[in-house]
Amino acid sequence: MRRRLASALLAALAGAAALAAPEGQAPIVIGQSLPLTGPAFPIANRVQAGAKALVDRVNAAGGLHGRRLELLTLDDGGDRARLAANLRELVQRQGALAIVNCLGERACAEGAAVTRELGVPLVGPFSGAAALRAPALKHVFTLRPDDRREADALVRQLASIGIVRLAWLTDGDEPAREAALAQALGAGGVQATQIALRPQAASLESAWQAVAQAAPQALLLSLGPATLDAINHGDLAARGELPATVATLSSAGLTQATRLFRGKVIGFTSVVPIPEISQLPLVREFERDADAFVGPEAFSFEGLGAYLHLRVLAEALRRAGARPDAARLAEAIEGLGSVDLGGWRLRFGPEHHHGSDRLEIGLRARDGKLRR
């Protein structure tokens, strides 16, 4: 019921924004398709909240060239066919100039294919899959390092604190990321017992037993939203079979993963500044706008990622002029060059569509506090 009410509220807010556009001044429309129903709803809700914080800030300051910025969001329930249909609806019927914030490897691969067909930019995939950096995908703009770079950083950090024996939980949600992790673990000399599981009670119970038998120094996670949701509902994260240290790469579910394993030391990579401890002006501005327009749920890794994606789009739209189209917007993103967004530097160009390779290593201590 809470999820249905939240989805209805988000839809109502989007409709209200459309109605508020000044007469004779059509809004500038940006679209996104998110799983607002299903196990990924908490992730999608944080993404939506972060994006809304930036959109509302832009509109409160008078919009862009006197036009409101409107973010239209459709629910795909985590289904790629629905996502594809949503993107066509957003671009062909609603006039979206760009698509933002796909969640996960499979959704972003589908989003990249459909937006290429539609001729609009895809900005800010929540995925580091190398396939999104293929030369043919000139319309895709990422703001994060690829999976291999991130996996190498996490493995180096684990090895530096003496962890060389892992149990590795995988569910096949992001196969390219699992492959990147496997390569990084092998290159780093870390022994990993890979344990495949499904988001079902019997499979989870078997996996927990396998972890106990492996007796690892740490637990490495490569899990999608459905499995994280099943672990949460099964109250499994605090079970005694698990080692005291848990590690994970950044993902669209990073906030959920770091909150789920209470009482553990959780090491992680982050492709945005760590919101709770960063002193960058970008993060302070994000906190201000989240408080002013949305509420505390926006203040998360995923919320900050979405806020940053929309901030890049807003800056490009300012440069694209009063009547931009999709092609002009893509050129404006390329034309950003080296840009400092509150201490977080990005670089774009005609041959450089991947704005940042920067990442941070953090940990959530047993007391729940975040640290670098």
Banded model confidence at residue 252, pLDDT cuts 50, 70, 90? confident
Determine the pLDDT at residue 235. 81
252's tokens: 């669209």
pTM over 0.85: yes
Q: How many degrees, rounded to 5, is the angle at CA 42 between CA 39 and CA 48?
A: 125
Determine the pLDDT at residue 238. 75
CA neighbor of 167 nearest in space, from 199, 206, 200: 206
The verdict on residue 364 lying in a domain is no
pLDDT, one tens digit per residue, over 70-110 is 999 999 999 999 999 999 999 999 999 999 999 999 999 99
CA quadruple 250, 253, 259, 262: dihedral positive or negative? Answer: negative
The verdict on residue 72 lying in a domain is yes
CB 74 within 8 A of CB 86: yes
Determine the pLDDT at residue 24. 52
Q: What range defines the domain where residue 168 resides?
A: 147-270
- Determine the average pLDDT of the residues in 345-360: 94
In terms of domains, do 137 and 161 share one? no
**Domain end point (choices 270, 303, 332):** 270
- Determine the average pLDDT of the residues in 286-297: 93
In terms of domains, do 180 and 246 share one? yes
CB 101 within 8 A of CB 54: no
The verdict on residue 367 lying in a domain is no
pLDDT over 80 at 118, yes or no: yes
Pairing of β 360-364 and β 370-371: antiparallel
CB 293 within 8 A of CB 57: yes
pLDDT over 70 at 262, yes or no: yes
In terms of domains, do 41 and 137 share one? yes
The Cα 298–Cα 303 span in angstroms is 5
Determine the pLDDT at residue 372. 67
The verdict on residue 370 lying in a domain is no
The Cα 369–Cα 372 span in angstroms is 10
The Cα 101–Cα 76 span in angstroms is 13
23's tokens: 């007469």
**Domain end point (choices 242, 270, 298):** 270
The total number of structural domains in the chain stands at: 2
At 310 the three-state DSSP class reads: helix
Those residues whose C-beta lies under 8 Å from the C-beta of residue 199, and which sit 6 or more positions away, are: 39, 171, 226, 227, 229, 230
CB 132 within 8 A of CB 109: yes
The Cα 227–Cα 39 span in angstroms is 9
In terms of domains, do 92 and 70 share one? yes
CATH of the domain at 289: 3.40.50.2300
In terms of domains, do 40 and 75 share one? yes
The Cα 335–Cα 355 span in angstroms is 12
In terms of domains, do 309 and 257 share one? no
CA neighbor of 299 nearest in space, from 274, 280, 281, 263: 274
The Cα 306–Cα 300 span in angstroms is 10
In terms of domains, do 31 and 66 share one? yes
In terms of domains, do 256 and 317 share one? no
Determine the pLDDT at residue 10. 42
The verdict on residue 183 lying in a domain is yes
**Domain end point (choices 207, 236, 270):** 270
CA 117, 119, 121, 126: dihedral to nearest 10 degrees?
A: -10
The verdict on residue 292 lying in a domain is yes
In terms of domains, do 327 and 255 share one? no
pLDDT, one tens digit per residue, over 180-228 is 999 999 999 999 999 999 999 999 999 999 999 999 999 999 999 999 9
The verdict on residue 368 lying in a domain is no
pLDDT over 80 at 14, yes or no: no
CB 130 within 8 A of CB 162: no
In terms of domains, do 119 and 38 share one? yes
The verdict on residue 360 lying in a domain is no
CB-count burial class (<10 Å; 0-12, 13-18, 19+) for 19 = exposed
Q: pLDDT > 70: what percent of the chain?
A: 93
In terms of domains, do 220 and 289 share one? no
In terms of domains, do 10 and 119 share one? yes
115's tokens: 């937006």
